[in-house]
Amino acid sequence: MIAVLSPGQGAQSPGMLAPWLELDGTTGSLSDELDGYADAVGLDLRALGTTADADTIKDTAVAQPLIVATSLLALSALQARVGDVNGWAIATAGHSVGEFAAVAAAGVLPATDALRLVAVRGSAMAHAAAAEPTGMSAVVGGDAGDVLDTLSAYDLVAANVNGGGQIVAAGALPALAALAAEPPAKARVIPLAVAGAFHTRYMASAVDAVAAAAAALTPADPRLTLLSNADGAAVASGADALAALVRQISAPVRWDLCQQTLVERGVQAAIELAPGGVLTGLARRTMRGVETIALKSPADLDAAADLIARHHG
């Protein structure tokens, strides 16, 4: 049994789309797909994903649709090898903005609708982030209770509880600097390449804009088991999936619970879509016995196809 995972903001890197657009035999179809995505979001995703520098693609309004578009292109390339995802996967989940790619993979929204919605999200969250200097830092290691107590003392929020000894703190930049200067015992503090305190009260102003855009869409019920960031539970309907996408903007991501659900449901393997790597790293520490592949580039397609052949049917 196989799960498909989609990474969140911070996974982006300069040039990450270039190898996908160079695929022999599928370049035309992926290129056309990307052009459709670019039209949907009103951004030159080709330039952003091939030639733009790290500072340019760190912009929240750019990073979010670019990451989701990259994930969906990688899924298309994989499906060209092994068939429709519904034929070989049983579940899908995405970390933060990656949940929009998961919603598309599960058939709740067409890819272009998911991207239009994530473009609204990215723009609204960028606007919210500009209102006050905030950010996020990963806290790796240490005792979980001690970490949470320390965050509370600094008026920071555990915006992402990722499992594997990683909690992401979010809040005002001075508080994050204080945390880095005096971290919890046996913990490291790593600043993340994001522009605001996502999944906290600082993003409240973005919720209404995304809710209004979501209300104009007509979702289908998931064709795969679709897990929510909020609590790791399976989403019951398309309407519930859209509601979850809206709620998660200002609520913590419980990726630890998503991983727990996947294990409880008997998932034996997981494929992380491009720009992958972060979620497979977490899975290796918390989903023991589950085989993982990070589909970082087309060079990983053969390994992903082999994994599917061994764990499906």
Three-state DSSP class for residue 15: coil
Give the Cα separation of 41 and 44 in Å (integer): 9
Identity of the residue numbered 10: G
The active-site residue out of 123, 199, 228, 297 is 199
Q: Are the CB atoms for 34 and 77 separated by under 8 Å?
A: no
Tally: H helices and E strands in the chain: 13, 9
Largest CA distance in the chain: 56
Residue 202: both structure tokens together: 């600082």
3-state helix, strand, coil in the chain (%, to 5): 50, 15, 35
The beta strands (E) that lie in the chain are given as: 2-6, 91-94, 134-141, 157-163, 166-172, 187-191, 225-226, 269-272, 291-294
DSSP assignment string, 52-102: --HHHHHSHHHHHHHHHHHHHHHHHHHHHHH--GGGT-SEEEESTTHHHHH
Q: List the one residue out of 279, 273, 303, 283 whose CA is nearest residue 67.
A: 273
Is 312 annotated as catalytic? no
The active-site residue out of 6, 96, 123, 250 is 96
φ, ψ of residue 160 in degrees (nearest 5): -130, 125
Q: List the one residue out of 7, 197, 218 whose CA is nearest residue 116.
A: 218
Identity of the residue numbered 28: G
Is 152 annotated as catalytic? no
Return the active site residues: 96, 199
